[in-house]
Amino acid sequence: MAAPVPRAASFAPLRRRGMTEQTLRRLRYAMVGGGQGAFIGAVHRHAIALDGLAELAAGAFSSIPERALASGSALGVSDEHNHASWQDLLDAELKRPAHERVDAVVIVTPTDSHFPIAQAFAGAGFNVVCDKPLVHTLVQAEALVSTVARSGVVFGVTYNYTGYPMVRQAREMVRSGKLGAIRKVVVEYNQGWLATALETTGNKQAGWRTDPTRSGIAGALGDIGSHAENLVASVTGLEIEELVADLGALVPGRALDDDASMLLRFKSGARGVLVASQINAGKENDLRLRVSGERGTLEWRQEEPNRLVHYRHDGPAEILTRGSPWLGEAAKRATRLPPGHPEAFIEAFANVYRGVFTDIRSRRDGREVDPIDADYPRVFDGARGVRFIECAVASSAARRWKRFDFDDPLAERPIVSPASAE
Q: Residue 104's closest CA among 85, 87, 118?
A: 118
pLDDT level of residue 25 (50, 70, 90 thresholds): confident
Q: How distant is the alpha carbon of residue 180 from its chain centre?
A: 28
- 250 dihedral zone (left: phi>0; alpha: psi -120 to 50; beta): alpha
Q: Residue 420 has what pLDDT?
A: 44
Helix axes 379-398, 226-236, angle to 10 degrees: 120
d(CA 218, CA 259): 10
Domain boundaries 165-337+377-383, corresponding CATH code = 3.30.360.10
Sign, CA dihedral 282-40-259-225, equals: negative
pLDDT in tens, 374-412: 999 999 999 999 999 999 999 999 999 999 988 755 443
Those residues with Cβ within 8 angstroms of residue 173's Cβ, 6 or more apart along the chain or in another chain: 179, 298, 310, 328
Give the domain 10-160 fold: Rossmann fold (3.40.50)
Q: How distant is the alpha carbon of residue 141 from its chain centre?
A: 15
Model's pTM, two decimal places?
Answer: 0.91
Q: Residue 154's closest CA among 379, 354, 418, 370?
A: 379
pLDDT in tens, 301-351: 999 999 999 999 999 999 999 999 999 999 999 999 999 999 999 999 999
Mean pLDDT of the chain: 92
Domain ranges of the chain: 10-160, 165-337+377-383
pLDDT in tens, 189-221: 999 999 999 999 999 999 999 999 999 999 999
Share of the chain above pLDDT 90, in %: 89
